[in-house]
Amino acid sequence: MKIAYISRSIIPSRTANSIHVMKMCNAFASLGHEVILLAPWTKKLEEKNVSDIFEYYGVEKNFELKKVFSPNIKYLKKRIYSYRCLNIVKKINPDIVYGRDDMFAFYLTQKSGYFTLFEKHEPYNEKGVNNFFFDKFMKNNVNNLKLVVNSNELRKMYNNSCNISLNSILAANNATNKIPNENISTNINIDNTKIQIGYVGSLFKGRGIDIIIQLAQKIPNAIFHIIGGKQKDIDYWKDKNKLSNIIFHGFVEPKETYKYRNMCDILLAPYQSDEEGNRSSKYMSPIKLYEYMSSKKAIVCSNFKVVYEALNDECALLVDSSDITAWENAVNELISNKEKREKLALNAYEKFIKYHTWKARAKKIIDSIDQSKSNNI
């Protein structure tokens, strides 16, 4: 099939949504579909000094990326972008229009007669402008499959808040790809006599960086690696602690993060609750968890209900998000028990390979679309 994927992600950039979009287009194309990705042309916001966008994201150049001019006109730029996307879609004449973020564009393509499917990563907000068009989109949607979300918890939320049948909502958890079997990046020196503990991701509120700092204080013989974050956030956390066993590596290109994960013995995901600053803790589907699983390393993670869609007690140690004693006990248990580390890591890896690759996610979506189309005939 020919798929037009519409997104408002800044490409290239450091954002998780841009990674998600590029990986999904790559996965759809790997299944044999012709994919054209539409993304805004916004030079001022794009990551600098990127000579090859596909190489930057670590994906095969098996789909087309079309940059769509998005003028910096207050109140109008999103609408102009959406209409420009519609005009390009009419020229492409795809079998499917798919994507996320730009609800108005999908409302327009559906209204123009294209089979349009939208993906949501956040709950319904009655006051949101996008959800005004989401309501209109749903009202006019005659397909059996009406919406894709990235977690079962979010699927339940849309069933309750918008009265959309559960059978019409596909839950497709986020994913990642298999990675090279490399143990360490050539430019990182580590002390192999000590346990290496890692965290990859943002450093803003709700990500549990304070938990990692407390762990480093309580477990001085381990080395803690924090990979990612904006410089201002790194400076903030550095100012709050002067520990010699914490290393801030800063931003690493998406294609390179696996090297930093692979050099660690234990990987941490100390997500915090809504009350602690993480607004998405009830419905999230973090790519980070699947990346951790793909590295075949032991994982300690917050035990939110939604986390069990990726992990379980057979492939990770899941603990109360804010209980520092529980975190300390879990990390120390893994430090002292190499056999348990390896068993949890293997179980997580096998679960990842079976269910959580980008290609598996893309196939799940395409199969659901095919089923929906056949039911509508």
Asked if residue 368 and residue 349 are part of one domain, the reply reads no
Residue 30: the pLDDT is: 97
- pLDDT for residue 229 is more than 60: yes
- Are 165 and 227 in a shared domain? no
Residues 249-282 have pLDDT tens digits of 999 999 899 999 999 999 999 999 875 555 688 8
Cα–Cα distances in angstroms (integers) from residue 207 to residues 25, 83, 354, in the given order = 28, 37, 28
- Tell me the average pLDDT across 28-40: 97
119 touches 151 (CB < 8 A)? no
Range 112-139 average pLDDT: 89
Q: Tell me the residue range of the domain where 365 lies.
A: 2-175+358-376
pLDDT of residue 135: 92
Q: Are residues 347 and 208 in the same domain?
A: yes
Same domain, 143 and 221: no
- CA gap 279, 206 in Å, rounded: 8
Task: Tell me how far apart the alpha carbons of residues 308 and 305 are, in angstroms, rounded to a whole number.
Answer: 6
Does residue 184 lie within any of the structural domains?
Answer: no
Domain contains 89 = yes
pLDDT for position 340: 98
For residue 310, tell me if it sits in a domain. Answer: yes
* Same-domain status, 282 and 310: yes
Backbone φ and ψ for 15, nearest 5 degrees, come out as -75, 150
Please state, in angstroms and rounded to a whole number, the distance separating the CA atoms of residues 67 and 94: 17
Q: Is residue 155 part of a domain?
A: yes
- Predicted local confidence at residue 189, as pLDDT: 79
Q: What is the average pLDDT across 197-224? A: 94
Does residue 217 contact residue 244 with C-beta atoms inside 8 Å?
A: no
What's the structural domain count of the chain? 2
In a domain, 212, yes or no: yes
- H or E segment to which residue 120 belongs: strand 116-120
CATH number at residue 310: 3.40.50.2000
Q: Does a structural domain hold residue 66?
A: yes
User: Strands (DSSP E) along 134-288, which ranges?
Assistant: 147-149, 169-171, 196-200, 223-227, 246-250, 266-269
Residue 121, domain member (yes or no) = yes
Residues 80 and 92 in one domain: yes
**Residues 297-317: what's their mean pLDDT?**
96
- Residue 227 bridge partners (DSSP): 200, 250
Are 210 and 121 part of one and the same domain? no
Closest alpha carbon to 223 in 200, 188, 249, 198: 198
In a shared domain, residues 9 and 153: yes
248 in the same domain as 293: yes
Domain membership flag for residue 257: yes
Please say if the pLDDT value at position 183 is more than 70. Answer: no
Of residues 125 and 354, more confidently modeled = 354
Quick one: 216 and 230 in the same domain?
yes
Mean pLDDT across the stretch 238-248? 91
Identify which has the larger pLDDT, 192 or 57. 57
Are both 232 and 153 inside the same structural domain?
A: no
The answer on 208 and 171 residing in a single domain is no
